[in-house]
């Protein structure tokens, strides 16, 4: 699966036959990435697509030196299941 980063729109997108899966974020100040929402079309859920979006966003945050605020419940839950990424979280 290809996850596309659309930098000027502050989102990561996976284009699927069922529709686009999208993770939206904003950059606060110089060092904080606030991941605000993730969406996967209902017919495509349960296949790890949301996790791929999160991995893309966290990889970008790591590359840029950002801390991550997981305003989206899914991101917080996903990182809880993948503690190797917990150091990226704000205050982590």
Task: Report d(CA 11, CA 20) in Å as an integer.
Answer: 11
Considering the chain, what is the average pLDDT of its residues? 96
CATH of domain 3-88: 3.40.630.30
Helix (H, G, I), strand (E, B) or coil at 15: strand
| Number of C-beta neighbours around residue 39 at 10 A | 17
pTM score, whole prediction: 0.95
Parse the chain into domains and list their residue ranges: 3-88
Dump pLDDT digits (tens) for 56-74. 999 999 999 999 999 999 9
Q: Report whether pLDDT(92) > 80.
A: no
């Amino acid at each position: 699966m290809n996850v596309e980063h659309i930098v000027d729109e502050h989102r990561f997108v996976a284009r699927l036959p069922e529709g686009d899966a999208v993770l939206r974020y904003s950059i606060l100040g110089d060092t904080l990435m606030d991941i605000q929402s993730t969406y996967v079309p209902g017919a495509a859920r349960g296949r790890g697509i949301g996790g791929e979006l999160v991995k893309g966003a966290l990889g970008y945050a790591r590359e840029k030196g950002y801390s991550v605020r997981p305003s989206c419940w899914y991101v917080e839950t996903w990182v809880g299941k993948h503690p190797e990424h917990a150091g990226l979280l704000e205050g982590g």
